Structure 1
Amino acid sequence: MFYLSIILLLTLISLAVYYVFLLQQRYQYFRRRGIPTPPFRFFFGHMKTLWNVPSFHRQLENWTKQYGKIYGIYQGTTPTFVVSDPDFLQEVFVKQFLNFPSRRQVLGGSRLRNVFNASGATWRRHRHVINPTFSAAKLKMMSPLINGCITNVMNKLKDHAENGNDFNIYTYYKRMTMDVICRCAFGIDTDLQNNPDNIYFKKVEEIFVRSIRSNSFFRLSQLLPELAYVIGKVFFGINMVRAFINIHILSLISKKELPELPSIWLFNRLHPIIEQRQKTPTSRVDVLQLMMQVMTDEKAHDDVQDTSKANYRLVKGEIISNIIVFMAAGYETTSTALAYATYELARHPEVLEKIQAEIDQLPLSNDDDDDSNDEMKKYPDYDIVAQMPYMDMFVSEVLRMYPIANTAVQRRTAENTIVQGIPIEKGTLIHTDIFSVHYDPELWGPEDPYIFYPERHQTKRHPMAYLPFGAGPRQCIGMRFALIEMKILLVRLLREYCILPGEELQSKFNIRERTVIAPEEVWIKLVPRNV
């Protein structure tokens, strides 16, 4: 027994020494390639620094100023290229897409497989099913639904305009965008704008309250990527057990619930949406309908060689996971973009006047003009907002200065490859430093990139100079939908009102980086126009 204990101890020591040796070799990754890297700590890499800074992406921007447009960091032990060189990014996102087909998994072992986090054949299957929802023809059909939700918010904003008081408009944007995504994507009339205490809305909000970067399971998976799948299984397993107890035990005996991850809470309680749609078939073609048309009870087989349409099926769990993703993304990113847009309009009355001049030229009838020409429309739609070059420049400038979902603009290497003469091994991460790209004077001059100037978008730029929605085949699937929703809202708002800065516009703006990069509040005043 004594000798066995000695052998076991020596084996453990040997494994520990070997592991330390492997880490030392891994930490030579960038040195062997001649790539600069900031000082880092053994085992933690650069994560101790990145966990403790207010903004992950602003820290990357600071390092870019010191180390250049291509440098390396270690997320734990995982080598990560931080890139703001547009030619390098074009190789990664477009020309070598097959070598960089996926993002890094936040936590492995999740049951929440969807179009955002899937990779390879699984991603192609999800994307093929969902893509038709966001065609131009479908977006035109959604215009009345979008306008219906905007009418609700306009009625609420009217009270503030009449009272002449300052208020936080961001709150109304959040409710409206959730209302829009529920109606347009899933055919659900939530009446959210009149019922902001809706439990599903609250749970989606919770997803964005805290940054996943502060989660201990997430941090552990970063430090031990070899165990990320197991760590994820444990993490999601704990939450699934809590959900089972809440649904089947505590719901019968108590009003209290065990804490659950918001996404898991939603995953276990969104089944009625699918069941209701099955009971009441519809001719509407939305995201949910397209997914349900290919729903199967059989487990999907993602054969890389099989690209036939017959293989493009989704199981019920995948449909629910996609519902969660679209609820969250359609709600938070669009409302945040509108918040930034309103902030800049309040600060730049000359820009507001130019947009209003363009709006006044649109073929829209007055609200009380029932006898207007058939070609004149009461509310803007897809075709009308597509006729607004200055509005397009304005929205583009908002998203250039305030990129929102920067974490999504990254890729993971699927195979060993070479980019711009640099050898990159399988499993390496490529993280885009979007702030450095969007504020690069070489890409966005001659005007100062830190000045809000919509006209800069009249000049053709490098295809990788503008990345708020990512780039390449994995560019945000809902990009056009979000832009149309934003523009219709802005047309209707600015057609009736001027936006003035509230007294607390600056003091309560306070940009915070959590799941997305968003302000806390946007305090403005609405003044009716004299048109």
Structure 2
Amino acid sequence: MSPLINRSVTALMKKLTEQYQSGQSFDIYAFLKRFTMDTIWSCGFGLDTDMQNNPNDRYLIQSQRVFSAECFLMIAGYETTSTALAYVSYVLATHPDEQLKLQEHIDTYFNPDTDNEIPSYEMISKMDYLDMFIRETLRMYPIIPAVINRQSTKDFQIENIGTIPAGTIVSIDMYTLHFDPDLWGPVDPNTFYPERFATKRHPLAWIPFGIGPRSCVGMRFAMMEMKLVLACLLKTYSIIDCGEQTYQATDQLEETAVISPKNIIIRLQRRDEKTV
């Protein structure tokens, strides 16, 4: 694993540990944004940033302008990954049984006596249930459904609709696709069920990163970032929901380049402590 990513993960875990020690609920989304921003600036540009400890870092401030107005590719690397991690955090908080199952899966790859071990690329690649967990989250909470579109180069016919002229922008209804019971059954697609990815599905049934030659070039990098953060976090902590503060996250969405919650309010609990 890249030392630059490891450094960003270590900084994130240090801040989350401070939040745990405070005993207070907090918005984990804010820390996830700083993590992905640190990772982008360090891995993409070789800049030594520390936005976890300096949220007023000039690169973070500049990036809000640069990424939103001039560089959509960087939005894909920063905003989408942090938002996906935020949704995973929400799912973990609101599905404690699934969280425990994922933690037990992650435990099999770690020395139980180490808190600060950073997993290797090879170790992360073997965590198949972690991969399914993230994929199921992105199935239910796609980040950028509106940007997956194509422009027709010639007229074509759709039965019972008529002729679609050349030059028409055609968008995919990702929500209908991702919740189609014929594609995702027999378990109800409205149920969070990572194991459904153990079954081979139609190659176009899951497209949060797009599909084909124009799919997201950063998919593997983003997936590895998410797996690394979750493995490090869940081997030590459990994410606990804070009642209505947590559940309202999916009711208060902001739609820009991505569809994101305003915040994800949770509390952390060390796994070696009794539930309070």
TM-score by structure 2 length?
Answer: 0.90
Q: Which residue of 2 aligns with 1:356?
A: 103
Quote the Cα distance in structure 2 between the aligned partners of 1:428 and 1:399.
28
Does the Cα contact within 8 Å between 2:254 and 2:262 map onto a contact in 1? Answer: yes
Which residue of 482, 489, 493 corresponds with 2:233? 493
Give the AA of the match of 2:247. Answer: Q
Residues 418-448 of structure 1 show CA distances to partners (whole Å, capped at 9, x for unaligned) of: 5778865431211100011011111111111
Is 1:402 the counterpart of 2:141? The answer is: yes
Give the AA of the match of 1:517. Answer: I
Q: How many residue pairs get matched?
A: 269
Which residue of 90, 93, 97 corresponds with 1:343? 90
Which residue of 510, 521, 524 corresponds with 2:263? 521
Q: Which residue of 2 aligns with 1:507?
A: 248
Quote the Cα distance in structure 2 between the aligned partners of 1:380 and 1:360.
11
Q: Which residue of 2 aligns with 1:438?
A: 178
Does the Cα contact within 8 Å between 1:204 and 1:263 map onto a contact in 2? Answer: no
Q: CA 1:363 to 1:526, structure 2 compared with 1: closer, same or farther past 3 Å? A: closer
Aligned with 1:464: secondary structure?
Answer: coil
Runs of 4+ in 1 over 6 A off after TM superposition: 419-422
Q: How much has 1:508 moved relative to structure 2?
A: 4.5
Q: CA 1:508 to 1:433, structure 2 compared with 1: closer, same or farther past 3 Å? A: closer
Residues 286-342 of structure 1 show CA distances to partners (whole Å, capped at 9, x for unaligned) of: xxxxxxxxxxxxxxxxxxxxxxxxxxxxxxxxxxxxxx3343221100000000000
Does the Cα contact within 8 Å between 2:183 and 2:205 map onto a contact in 1? Answer: yes
Q: Which residue of 2 aligns with 1:147?
A: 6
Q: How does 1:34-113 map to 2 (within 5 A)?
A: none
Give the AA of the match of 1:416. Answer: K
Q: Which residue of 1 aligns with 2:53?
A: 194
Residues 99-148 of structure 1 show CA distances to partners (whole Å, capped at 9, x for unaligned) of: xxxxxxxxxxxxxxxxxxxxxxxxxxxxxxxxxxxxxxxxx5x3x22111
Aligned with 1:506: secondary structure?
Answer: helix
Does the Cα contact within 8 Å between 1:145 and 1:184 map onto a contact in 2? Answer: yes
Which residue of 443, 451, 464 corresponds with 2:204? 464
Q: How does 1:224-243 map to 2 (within 5 A)?
A: none
Is 1:182 the counterpart of 2:41? The answer is: yes
Gaps of 5+ in 1: 1-139, 209-261, 265-323, 370-377
Give the AA of the match of 1:496. Answer: T
Give the AA of the match of 1:512. Answer: E
Aligned with 1:527: secondary structure?
Answer: strand
Q: Which residue of 2 aligns with 1:300?
A: none
Quote the Cα distance in structure 2 between the aligned partners of 1:438 and 1:525.
30
Q: How much has 1:205 moved relative to structure 2?
A: 3.6
Does the Cα contact within 8 Å between 1:167 and 1:502 map onto a contact in 2? Answer: no
Is 1:479 the counterpart of 2:219? The answer is: yes
Q: CA 1:358 to 1:332, structure 2 compared with 1: closer, same or farther past 3 Å? A: same
Q: CA 1:387 to 1:420, structure 2 compared with 1: closer, same or farther past 3 Å? A: farther
Quote the Cα distance in structure 1 between the aligned partners of 2:115 and 2:16.
19
Does the Cα contact within 8 Å between 1:181 and 1:326 map onto a contact in 2? Answer: no
Q: CA 1:464 to 1:145, structure 2 compared with 1: closer, same or farther past 3 Å? A: same
Does the Cα contact within 8 Å between 1:410 and 1:431 map onto a contact in 2? Answer: yes
Q: How does 1:306-317 map to 2 (within 5 A)?
A: none
Quote the Cα distance in structure 2 between the aligned partners of 1:395 and 1:520.
20
Gaps of 5+ in 2: none
Give the AA of the match of 1:506. Answer: Y
Q: How much has 1:365 moved relative to structure 2?
A: 7.2
Is 1:416 the counterpart of 2:154? The answer is: yes
Does the Cα contact within 8 Å between 1:175 and 1:196 map onto a contact in 2? Answer: yes
Q: How much has 1:188 moved relative to structure 2?
A: 1.1
Q: CA 1:461 to 1:368, structure 2 compared with 1: closer, same or farther past 3 Å? A: closer
Q: How much has 1:204 moved relative to structure 2?
A: 3.4
Aligned with 2:188: secondary structure?
Answer: coil
TM-score by structure 1 length?
Answer: 0.48
Quote the Cα distance in structure 2 between the aligned partners of 1:492 and 1:367.
11
Q: How much has 1:360 moved relative to structure 2?
A: 1.0
| Identity among equivalent pairs (%) | 44
Does the Cα contact within 8 Å between 2:158 and 2:164 map onto a contact in 1? Answer: no
